[in-house]
Structure 1
Amino acid sequence: MLRTLKRRATAIGLGIATVLGGSLLATGVPSPAHAAVPDTIPLQITNNSGRGEQLYVYNLGTQLSTGRQGWADASGTFHPWPAGGNPPTPAPDASITGPAAGRSTTVRIPKFSGRIYFSYGQKLVFKLTTGGLVQPAVQNPTDPNRNILFNWSEYTLNDAGLWLNSTQVDMFSAPYSVGVRRADGGTTSTGKLKSGGYNAALSTLRGQSGGWANLIQTRSDGTVLRALSPLYGLETGALPASVMDDYVNRVWQKYAGSTLTVTPFTDQPGVKYYGRVSGGVMNFTNSAGAVVTSFQKPDASSVFGCHGKLDAPNDQVRGPISRTLCAGFNRSTLLTNPSQPDSGSADFYRDGVTNHYARAIHAQMADGKAYAFAFDDVGNHESLVHDGNPSQALLTLDPFN
């Protein structure tokens, strides 16, 4: 459940003024009685970006032993945030000087659930409210980080090991990959773009009609900063609210006369739920025929954000069904496969109405894996590494071209 909880928290927790509260990136993963993982592990940061600007790195999140919010310095020492204010007050400078282009540096990361930010040329602006940390929200044109080139990775390190992922749930920006070195010396990595993949993904959005090119944000000096996720594209008006209506209407029409079967747990193939649309509502029944949950017809925001009418609580019924539906809508596979989730990616994003942002990103990933929407982990298509006894975490800033 860790991947689901992490991505869901990110998807619903980021708004115009994003606050890092006690629930953000909570893992829900039980820890064994005896810790196999030390209090800190090394993180090797390698700068292969080819960019000459000064690099700044931040490690922000929740200390798992106490639940306190704060930041970690280069030695892995935790520093709790001071009290914030209203209006928000400046946060302490948590930046770590990163390596120059072509160089590497190693810092230590503690048992945390949080984010590793990195920015080129300028330090990021963080502020504190009475509710916690205000994080960058660049869909807001007045956000002080709007014109800074930056990105972030997400991780949880606890007694059960390390989970480290690259993410594009909120934006596609400065390229990077993540990895973990195991105790046996072997490494696992993911999140790396194909050669030329950064520009190719942006070119795909530019060439897609319907407003998808409007997701791209550019600085006044011509630097491409990022492409916003389609959820934020809706919020900013870059995408029309009706962008997914045609596909959603066709799905609702199809399952008014046929059944959608959802098998949400790979380790429990006998647990199935059956969806039919009646009176404009998709009702799901269990094997005994009892209705267990129902969904109103979702709008584009619900689809792209995996929230709203596709809300996914952390339970064992509605949440797992909803996340499967969300993945099927984003990948546009609900019409072609009445048994969800799909076992492979060959038929993803083939409908003319789809999440073209996710399509563009996945197509340019070297291993095909990405976190392009909140539940992109359905079917294990996410860019995540995990090891129960990690010797080192790896963050590599990759070339833009």
Structure 2
Amino acid sequence: MTTSPDPYVLTRRSMLTAIAAAAVAGSAVVSATPRALAADNDEPAAEAARRLPLTVVNHSGEFANRSVHLYIVGSQGDRQVRVTRRGTVERVKLSDNRDNGFTDYAIPLAARGSTELRLPHMSGRIYVALGHKLKFKAVRGADGNVALQHPAGWVESDPNYPVLHDFVEFTHNESGMFCNTTMVDMFSVPMMIRLNGARDHSTGRLRDGGRDRVFRTLRNNPDFSRLVVGERRVIAPSHGLDNGRFPQHYYDPYIDRVWNTYRNKRLVVRTDAGTFTGQVRDHRLTFTGPASVSFAKPSTRDVLFCDGALAAPNDGVTGPVAAVLGAGFNRSTLVSHRQQPTTRAAGFYDTAVTNHYARVIHAATTNGKAYGFAFDDVADWASYIQDTRPQHMHLTLTPF
């Protein structure tokens, strides 16, 4: 299996790139263009009927329901929205900033047992904060439109840095429900998601003691140890590099090996668009096949972010090849396997220089799937599920 053909995956990558590029005061910002809308509390009956039942269960074993705060924020068409405590959908407004200049979009869990909600058609994130509330801020973006600052738990200056929190990502639309548990930015709160619909499927569950093993293993790795923030979270090495917590040239020796290997050999990349054959010429890895695509030699930062020289445009040609290369670099399989993508996890992360953050997170999950980097969906190893006929979604905070 090559890269996932589902358009949601590329949409998700685009969203991550946009959020990273729109940082304001260390927080991620998402903006939307306002348009003429019905009153916020006047939700059309048809819209309400399309909402997907969501059950949230707190099995953390560490926090009582009263200490868990839920946030559902994202976009609906061209507007930024949030789901309210009453279950209605409201657009984000500057006037929402009240408590010390921040919004209070928290949805409390039921006093005991499960919490029943309904998800509208929208794309966004479901945040959970444990012990303390998150500080979201509505701002006016550079384009003059309303924007929402999201927490950036990997930035020490962010007001949410001290708060134990995490999130899942989703798109719910006419085509179905598409969702994932993500560690692309950081790993903190163990959660699993489940969809009931055309079939019953779930992902994200950790093995018993999995969270502790992730923290302990990375704390004992000299290159990755500074990514561990107490018992609160592990920052992804991409953000760690930008924050001075991770070596800037960590991947350089492996990148050099790849470039030297394919000066005299050919790299074969199979995608849904066809088979591409590449070789290093004039310092670029150039592929021929259904189209001609080439890549400059990436930096360590390019590899970890799957961006820069490895950016994947949603063009159906360069994008899929870039995704396979990004996965091959992070999994350190490009030198050992001349045909990509490799699909057997036993061959992943089998060198000293590799993405050990992604490696240990995958090892901690019961099904071996995780979103440790942006192209982890290559060969279907991401903690991602979808259903074209969704009937019910479940979000469970699993034991620490």
TM range (shorter): 0.7 to 0.9
Q: Which residue of 1 aligns with 2:227?
A: 215
Which structure has the highest helix share of the two? Answer: 2
Which of 232, 235, 253 aligns to 1:225? It is 232
Deviation of 1:229 (Å): 0.5
Deviation of 1:75 (Å): 4.6
Q: Which residue of 1 aligns with 2:187?
A: 172
Q: Structure 1: which 5+ runs fail to align?
A: 24-34, 219-223
Residue 283 in 1 paired to residue 293 in 2?
Answer: no
Deviation per CA, 1:212-252, whole angstroms, max 9, x where unpaired?
Answer: 0100112xxxxx11000010110111111110001100000
Which of 271, 275, 278 aligns to 1:272? It is 275
Which of 250, 274, 288 aligns to 1:243? It is 250
Contact 2:71 2:126 in 1 (8 A): yes
Q: Which residue of 1 aligns with 2:138?
A: 128
Q: Distance in 1 between matches of 2:213 and 2:228?
A: 13
1:7-156 equivalences under 5 Å are 7-14=13-20, 15=23, 16-22=26-32, 38-53=49-64, 54-63=67-76, 66-83=77-94, 90-99=101-110, 103-131=113-141, 132-156=147-171
Aligned partner of residue 382 in structure 1, secondary structure:
coil
Q: Distance in 1 between matches of 2:356 and 2:248?
A: 15
Q: Distance in 1 between matches of 2:159 and 2:372?
A: 25
Contact 2:103 2:135 in 1 (8 A): no
Contact 2:85 2:106 in 1 (8 A): no
**Structure 1 letter corresponding to 2:13:** R
Deviation per CA, 1:59-82, whole angstroms, max 9, x where unpaired?
Answer: 00011xx32101012454210011
Contact 2:154 2:186 in 1 (8 A): no
Deviation of 1:309 (Å): 1.2
Q: Structure 2: which 5+ runs fail to align?
A: 1-6, 34-45, 142-146
Aligned partner of residue 254 in structure 2, secondary structure:
helix
Residue 255 in 1 paired to residue 262 in 2?
Answer: yes
Residue 309 in 1 paired to residue 309 in 2?
Answer: yes
Contact 1:4 1:377 in 2 (8 A): no
Aligned partner of residue 61 in structure 1, secondary structure:
strand
Q: Distance in 1 between matches of 2:69 and 2:371?
A: 23
Residue 322 in 1 paired to residue 335 in 2?
Answer: no
Q: Which residue of 1 aligns with 2:397?
A: 397
Deviation of 1:273 (Å): 1.0
Q: Distance in 2 between matches of 1:96 and 1:356?
A: 35
Q: Distance in 2 between matches of 1:74 and 1:371?
A: 29
**Structure 2 letter corresponding to 1:282:** L
Aligned partner of residue 346 in structure 1, secondary structure:
helix
Which of 159, 180, 204 aligns to 2:174? It is 159
TM-aligned CA distance change 1:76 to 1:333, over 3 Å: same
**Structure 2 letter corresponding to 1:278:** R
Q: Which residue of 1 aligns with 2:360?
A: 360
Deviation per CA, 1:292-338, whole angstroms, max 9, x where unpaired?
Answer: 22211111110010111111111011111111100000000101111
Q: Distance in 1 between matches of 2:394 and 2:277?
A: 42
TM-aligned CA distance change 1:359 to 1:283, over 3 Å: same
Q: Which residue of 2 aligns with 1:3?
A: 9
**Alignment length, in residue pairs?**
369
Q: Distance in 2 between matches of 1:4 and 1:179?
A: 22
Aligned partner of residue 138 in structure 2, secondary structure:
strand
Deviation of 1:11 (Å): 4.5
Deviation of 1:58 (Å): 0.5
Contact 2:312 2:318 in 1 (8 A): yes
Contact 1:114 1:156 in 2 (8 A): yes
Aligned partner of residue 375 in structure 2, secondary structure:
coil
Q: Distance in 2 between matches of 1:37 and 1:165?
A: 24
Q: Which residue of 2 aligns with 1:200?
A: 213
Aligned partner of residue 301 in structure 1, secondary structure:
helix
Contact 2:184 2:371 in 1 (8 A): yes
**Structure 2 letter corresponding to 1:189:** S
Aligned partner of residue 2 in structure 1, secondary structure:
helix
**Given the two structures, how large is their TM-score scaled by the length of structure 1?**
0.87
Q: Distance in 1 between matches of 2:63 and 2:365?
A: 25
Deviation of 1:126 (Å): 0.6
**Given the two structures, how large is their TM-score scaled by the length of structure 2?**
0.88
**Structure 2 letter corresponding to 1:235:** D
Q: Distance in 2 between matches of 1:386 and 1:178?
A: 11
Contact 1:191 1:370 in 2 (8 A): yes
Contact 1:81 1:91 in 2 (8 A): no
Deviation of 1:146 (Å): 0.5
Deviation of 1:103 (Å): 2.5
**Structure 1 letter corresponding to 2:113:** R
Aligned partner of residue 345 in structure 2, secondary structure:
coil
Aligned partner of residue 261 in structure 1, secondary structure:
strand
Aligned partner of residue 171 in structure 2, secondary structure:
strand
Aligned partner of residue 180 in structure 2, secondary structure:
strand
Aligned partner of residue 361 in structure 2, secondary structure:
helix
Contact 2:285 2:294 in 1 (8 A): yes
Deviation of 1:5 (Å): 2.1
